[in-house]
Amino acid sequence: MYGYFSAMSTHRVVALVLPPQAPFELACAAEVFGAHRPGLPARYTFDVCTEHPGAVPTSYGYDMLVGQGLAALETADTVVIPGWHHRDRPAPAAVLDALTRAHRRGARTVAICSGAFLLAQAGLLDHRRATTHWRMAAELAARFPAVTVEPDTLYIDLGDVATSAGTAAGIDLCLHLARADHGAAHAAQIARHMVMPPHREGGQLQYAAPPHADRPPDSLAPVLDWAAERLHEPLALGDLAARAGVSSRTLARRFADQLGVTPGRWLLQQRVTAARTLLETTDLPVETVAARVGLSSATNLRRRFHTLVHTTPAAYRRSFGTHPPADGE
């Protein structure tokens, strides 16, 4: 089963690098899974491997020293492909073989940016949804017609396989995986250490629509912060628009342009995220949790929670909660 790993277990993440390696994509995974932070339990070990151990050139003109070979994938719980510069070439047979054997064994395989091309060559994306950097999406779709490419999506997690767009979307995906493995509170702690904003859902757009030439875009940050502090209240689109000082139609357009979601969808995501944290860190009854996050009733919370998290609040609490449940569920 992918995700919901035991809070006491150590999950081994191995990044497979291919010359010339893009340092930023590798750093996305290393920062989430490999950094040890004061006060935060170490839930992951992080290693790097390559086909031929030794000096591996990077796309920035310097070499990195990698000591482990492909055998490291044999014991990996998660394999990360942090980009692939030579995506237009056939991958080495040994690399494809090691990757497919790791996947068959049950390792989760994760591609950041152009790493999706390696998963596609390995056949791991056939007849499945995937994404990559918007600039390469048409190429991925053309070269691998069996893959359903979603060019506007930040990341897609299918459980055993996950793909992301470029740059910051790689961090979004890694934080999402940490959240799926160990809960929202643990992932939020990692994000705070990284000075990252609240997490972005994978279905959001990779990039915002171009602003109108005659005026700069207006930041949604003030109204988002205001709403996040009032999730327990029955907020509606009109309330957010009034706070922003614009019409409901204008606010909805700004949400679509800047976040790629509707105001209602964004509110629901924030409420479910807040509920996850309360389920993890308190023993409050589900009815009370629902009221505190503005979802009105336990029934509504269960329905919304299942839609976004694909499990029940009770099952989520059993997996991640630090307190025994007080509601007998």
SS (H, E, C) 170-198: HHHHHHHHHHHHHCHHHHHHHHHHCCCCC
End-to-end Cα, the chain, rounded Å: 22
Q: Is 327 exposed, middle or buried (0-12, 13-18, 19+ CB in 10 A)?
A: middle
Confidence of residue 85 (pLDDT cuts 50, 70, 90): very high
Which one is predicted more confidently, 3 or 165? 165
Query: What's the mean pLDDT when you consider all of the chain?
Result: 89
How far apart (Å, rounded) are the C-alpha atoms in residues 154 and 162? 11
pLDDT at 8: 52
- Give me the residue spans of the domains in the chain: 11-193, 209-329
- DSSP 8-state secondary structure symbol assigned to residue 24: H
Collapse the DSSP code of 74 into the 3-class scheme (helix H, G, I; strand E, B; otherwise coil) and give the result: helix
Do 80 and 16 form a contact (C-beta atoms < 8 A)? yes
How far apart (Å, rounded) are the C-alpha atoms in residues 300 and 290? 8
Rounded alpha-carbon distances, angstroms, from residue 49 to 57, 67, 69? 13, 7, 5
Stretch 226-247: mean pLDDT, rounded? 94
Strand pairing report for 11-16 and 78-82: parallel
Which range among 200-204, 213-217, 298-302 shows the weakest confidence by mean pLDDT?
Answer: 213-217
pLDDT at 245: 94
Q: Which fold has domain 209-329?
A: Arc Repressor Mutant, subunit A (1.10.10)
Out of 3.40.1190.20, 3.40.50.880, 3.30.70.360, 3.40.640.10, the CATH code matching 11-193 is 3.40.50.880
Stretch 6-17: mean pLDDT, rounded? 83
Which one is predicted more confidently, 8 or 308? 308
User: Does residue 3 surpass a pLDDT of 80?
Assistant: no
Q: 3-state DSSP: the chain helix, strand, coil percent, rounded to 5?
A: 45, 15, 40
Summarize pLDDT for 256-279 with one digit per residue, the tens: 888 888 999 999 999 999 999 999
